[in-house]
Amino acid sequence: GAVVSQHPSWVICKSGTSVKIECRSLDFQATTMFWYRQFPKQSLMLMATSNEGSKATYEQGVEKDKFLINHASLTLSTLTVTSAHPEDSSFYICSAKEIGRPNYGYTFGSGTRLTVV
């Protein structure tokens, strides 16, 4: 089946540094990648939607300059948390939508647990 590889699975960084999270679709082409954020014991909140080759669409309240999303190819999307602060500590998870499967086929990565100290 469809697989999305997300790396790293966990990362600890110092406040003020930037962290890049990668999501790769391994055996399919993803037209769209969704990036979610999940605080402890809470639901997944959509941060942004990215389409290959175009700018990401951010949800209201999400700072696009802080959370940089790049979807340079049909198999790779990255989320960079710039100048991270402790409040950015969270679980980040991506989801890819496969070409030709418009309303299903949401394949999730395994998530990245970010801790900013």
Partner 1 sequence: AQKVTQAQTEISVVEKEDVTLDCVYETRDTTYYLFWYKQPPSGELVFLIRRNSFDEQNEISGRYSWNFQKSTSSFNFTITASQVVDSAVYFCALSEAPPIGANSKLTFGKGITLSVRP
**Which spans of this chain sit near partner 1 (rule: CB under 8 A)?**
32, 34, 41-44, 46, 49, 51, 57, 91, 93, 95, 97, 102-104, 106, 108-111, 113
Q: Mind spelling out the 3-state secondary structure of 69-97?
A: EEEEECCEEEEEECCCCHHHCEEEEEEEE
Q: Which amino acid is at 98?
A: E
Of 32 and 75, the one with the shorter C-beta distance to partner 1 is: 32
At closest approach, how far in Å is the CB of 111 from partner 1?
4
At closest approach, how far in Å is the CB of 62 from partner 1?
13
Task: Give φ, ψ of 76 to 5 degrees.
Answer: -140, 130
At closest approach, how far in Å is the CB of 17 from partner 1?
23
At closest approach, how far in Å is the CB of 21 from partner 1?
13
Token pair, residue 81, equals: 């948390």
Q: Are strands 10-13 and 112-116 parallel, antiparallel or unpaired?
A: parallel
Of 15 and 55, the one with the shorter C-beta distance to partner 1 is: 55
